[in-house]
Structure 1
Amino acid sequence: MIIVQDTFVCKPGNASKLAKLFKEVMDGRPEVVNIMSDMTGSFNRVVVVTRHDSLTAYEKSWDSMSQEESQKMQEKMKGYTEMYQSGSREIFQVW
């Protein structure tokens, strides 16, 4: 099993907005474990945690969305890149 953490460093005042947007858009996706915002440490961060059986399953999770679902997600996410400054992805093997 793998855990994927996508971290977004948001522009000030946008972390909660981005977290709420991710929660709305990813609702019902079984691989989503948590959508979190920071309480200590570096400020303005949003972390999306997903769980997958393997790297192949992670790649296929993007393909599992229908054309219609993908289009709706893109419409809802329009402009989200204006909410953050940078981001990173970490993929962990669970033992």
Structure 2
Amino acid sequence: MIIVHDIFVCKPGNASKLAKLFKEVMADSKEFVNIMTDMTGQFNRVIMVSQFNNLTAYENSWEEMMKDEEKMKKMKEKMANYTDMYLTGSREIFKVW
């Protein structure tokens, strides 16, 4: 199993807004696990946690998402200005032993 952290460092005042947006948009994703915001460490971080059986399943999830044109259209509409809420981001992929 692998766990994926998509990490966003938000502009001040935007972490909770971005977290709520991600939670809404990812609600029907079977791989979605949690949305987390920082309590210690770096400020203004939002971490979206997803879980997959393996890297192939992770790659396939992207391909499946792209195939559903209606779903992608709705997601793009909801996420239209999300890039205005964060400064930078990164992705971490962990293997669970």
TM range (shorter): over 0.9
1:79 maps to what in 2? 81
Where structure 2 has 5 or more consecutive residues not aligned to the other structure, the ranges are none
Provide Cα deviations, 1:7-47, integer angstroms capped at 9, x if missing partner. 00000000000000000000011101110111111110000
After TM superposition, give the deviation of residue 63 of structure 1 in Å.
2.0
1:15 maps to what in 2? 15
Indicate the percent of aligned positions where both proteins have the same amino acid.
Answer: 67
Which amino acid in the other structure matches residue 72 of structure 2?
Answer: S
SS in 1 for 2:80: coil
Q: 1:90 aligns with which of 65, 71, 92?
A: 92
2:70 maps to what in 1? 68
Which amino acid in the other structure matches residue 91 of structure 2?
Answer: R
TM-score if structure 1 supplies the norm length? 0.96
Which amino acid in the other structure matches residue 68 of structure 1?
Answer: E
Question: Aligned pairs, how many?
Answer: 95
- CA-based RMSD of the aligned residues comes to 0.7
Where structure 1 has 5 or more consecutive residues not aligned to the other structure, the ranges are none
After TM superposition, give the deviation of residue 62 of structure 1 in Å.
1.6
Provide Cα deviations, 1:68-87, integer angstroms capped at 9, x if missing partner. 10110011000100100000
TM-score if structure 2 supplies the norm length? 0.94
